[in-house]
Amino acid sequence: MGHPDVFRQAFRALADRGRYVLTGQVGSAPLRVHPAFVLGRDAVITGSGSTPMSTFADALAMVAEGRVTPLVTPYPLDDVARAFRDLADGRVVGRAVLVPAAGGAP
Protein backbone atom coordinates (compact mmCIF):
# COMPACT_ATOMS: atom_id res chain seq x y z
CA MET A 1 0.00 0.00 0.00
CA GLY A 2 1.20 3.46 -0.69
CA HIS A 3 -0.45 5.40 2.13
CA PRO A 4 1.99 7.47 4.22
CA ASP A 5 0.37 6.37 7.51
CA VAL A 6 1.08 2.71 6.69
CA PHE A 7 4.30 2.86 4.69
CA ARG A 8 6.78 3.46 7.51
CA GLN A 9 5.65 0.56 9.71
CA ALA A 10 5.20 -1.79 6.77
CA PHE A 11 8.64 -0.96 5.38
CA ARG A 12 10.20 -1.51 8.81
CA ALA A 13 8.62 -4.99 8.85
CA LEU A 14 10.25 -5.84 5.52
CA ALA A 15 12.84 -8.61 5.71
CA ASP A 16 16.38 -8.09 4.46
CA ARG A 17 16.40 -8.38 0.65
CA GLY A 18 12.60 -7.95 0.75
CA ARG A 19 10.42 -6.42 -1.91
CA TYR A 20 7.90 -3.66 -1.13
CA VAL A 21 5.28 -3.51 -3.85
CA LEU A 22 3.23 -0.33 -4.08
CA THR A 23 -0.25 -1.14 -5.33
CA GLY A 24 -1.97 2.16 -4.75
CA GLN A 25 -1.68 5.66 -3.39
CA VAL A 26 -4.76 6.45 -1.37
CA GLY A 27 -3.49 9.72 0.09
CA SER A 28 -2.16 12.83 -1.54
CA ALA A 29 0.90 13.15 0.73
CA PRO A 30 4.16 11.77 -0.67
CA LEU A 31 5.92 8.78 0.87
CA ARG A 32 9.24 9.47 2.52
CA VAL A 33 12.03 6.95 2.76
CA HIS A 34 15.71 7.54 3.37
CA PRO A 35 17.84 5.77 0.74
CA ALA A 36 20.13 4.41 3.49
CA PHE A 37 17.26 2.28 4.80
CA VAL A 38 16.66 0.79 1.36
CA LEU A 39 20.37 0.12 0.85
CA GLY A 40 20.86 -1.21 4.38
CA ARG A 41 18.19 -3.86 3.86
CA ASP A 42 19.12 -4.48 0.23
CA ALA A 43 15.42 -3.89 -0.39
CA VAL A 44 13.48 -3.29 -3.57
CA ILE A 45 10.63 -0.78 -3.78
CA THR A 46 8.56 -1.29 -6.89
CA GLY A 47 5.08 -0.69 -8.21
CA SER A 48 2.44 -2.97 -9.61
CA GLY A 49 -0.46 -1.83 -11.75
CA SER A 50 -3.80 -3.52 -11.77
CA THR A 51 -3.95 -7.23 -12.45
CA PRO A 52 -6.47 -8.33 -15.07
CA MET A 53 -9.38 -10.32 -13.65
CA SER A 54 -8.43 -13.25 -15.90
CA THR A 55 -4.99 -13.48 -14.23
CA PHE A 56 -6.60 -13.43 -10.79
CA ALA A 57 -9.09 -16.15 -11.87
CA ASP A 58 -6.21 -18.28 -13.20
CA ALA A 59 -4.37 -17.95 -9.89
CA LEU A 60 -7.47 -18.97 -7.92
CA ALA A 61 -7.95 -21.96 -10.22
CA MET A 62 -4.36 -23.10 -9.58
CA VAL A 63 -5.02 -22.97 -5.83
CA ALA A 64 -8.33 -24.84 -6.20
CA GLU A 65 -6.65 -27.54 -8.32
CA GLY A 66 -3.86 -27.97 -5.77
CA ARG A 67 -1.15 -26.93 -8.24
CA VAL A 68 0.03 -24.21 -5.85
CA THR A 69 -0.35 -23.83 -2.12
CA PRO A 70 -0.47 -20.32 -0.70
CA LEU A 71 1.69 -19.76 2.38
CA VAL A 72 -0.53 -17.86 4.80
CA THR A 73 -0.22 -17.12 8.50
CA PRO A 74 -3.61 -15.89 9.78
CA TYR A 75 -3.94 -13.45 12.68
CA PRO A 76 -7.13 -12.21 14.34
CA LEU A 77 -7.70 -8.58 13.36
CA ASP A 78 -7.47 -7.48 17.00
CA ASP A 79 -3.98 -9.05 17.21
CA VAL A 80 -2.41 -6.79 14.57
CA ALA A 81 0.46 -5.81 16.89
CA ARG A 82 1.60 -9.45 17.14
CA ALA A 83 1.35 -9.83 13.37
CA PHE A 84 3.66 -6.83 12.86
CA ARG A 85 6.09 -8.13 15.53
CA ASP A 86 6.20 -11.55 13.86
CA LEU A 87 6.79 -9.92 10.47
CA ALA A 88 9.56 -7.73 11.88
CA ASP A 89 11.18 -10.71 13.58
CA GLY A 90 11.05 -12.86 10.43
CA ARG A 91 8.65 -15.43 11.91
CA VAL A 92 6.18 -15.24 9.01
CA VAL A 93 6.70 -17.35 5.90
CA GLY A 94 4.53 -16.23 3.01
CA ARG A 95 1.82 -13.72 3.83
CA ALA A 96 0.43 -12.51 7.14
CA VAL A 97 -3.34 -12.18 6.84
CA LEU A 98 -5.51 -10.24 9.27
CA VAL A 99 -8.85 -11.99 9.72
CA PRO A 100 -11.85 -10.08 11.11
CA ALA A 101 -13.93 -11.78 13.78
CA ALA A 102 -16.92 -13.72 12.44
CA GLY A 103 -20.06 -11.63 12.57
CA GLY A 104 -18.07 -8.45 13.22
CA ALA A 105 -18.83 -5.06 11.76
CA PRO A 106 -17.84 -4.65 8.08
Q: How does pLDDT run across 27-57, given as a tens digit for each residue? A: 677 888 888 988 998 999 887 777 777 887 8
Is the confidence at residue 104, as pLDDT, over 70? no
Widest CA span in the chain: 44
CATH architecture observed for domain 1-50 = 3-Layer(aba) Sandwich (3.40)
Helices (H), ranges, the chain? 4-12, 35-41, 53-64, 80-88
When computed from its CA atoms, the radius of gyration of the chain, rounded to whole angstroms, is 16
pTM: 0.46
Secondary structure class of 8 (helix, strand, coil): helix
DSSP label at 27?
A: S
